[in-house]
Amino acid sequence: MSLLVCRVRSHQALQQADAGDVVPAPLAQPGELEVLGTPVDLGAVDVDSYIVAGSTDHIIPWENAYRSTQLLGGTPRFVLSTSGHIQALVNPPAAESRASYRVSDLYPASPEAWAEKAATLPGSWWPDYDQWLAARSGDLKPAPKRLGNTRHKAQAKAPGNYVHAA
């Protein structure tokens, strides 16, 4: 078991806040949160990000999810699906789909400004994700004929010994 230790540098803001006050999230402020003695800066994450939000999500409002485009380093791709929290993700591509999603190549600071520019596309966002992921993946190659290698021996045949047929 390991223990994750986090420390907020400016914890006074949290202690002095009254009910209803807006307190900045330490994770959103570079260096305000430390994990195991290391300051966290999300802007230093230099990999591209694919961020999906649901337009009627009651847990994570899409405007809050959009703010990730301003926090993370790398190139973002923000997709706004026309559904709620679960349905935004469980949205399989199908010819008869009534779903749609919104995208834009511009990421202004405000979510509202993004929404003004974003195009609405028909169908599921999954094919868009597939293309985005393929552009960042290596060439396809055949699967190994055998599991494991000389250093890491296979412990069980696929799909593994934790899957049991009824």
pLDDT at 161: 76
Distance CA 26, CA 14 (A): 10
pLDDT band at 57 (very low <50, low <70, confident <90, very high): very high
Q: Is the pLDDT of residue 16 over 60?
A: no
Q: What is the pTM of this model?
A: 0.74
> Span 128-136, mean pLDDT?
95
pLDDT band at 26 (very low <50, low <70, confident <90, very high): confident
Domain ranges of the chain: 1-40, 45-134
Peptide bond into 24 cis (omega under 30): no
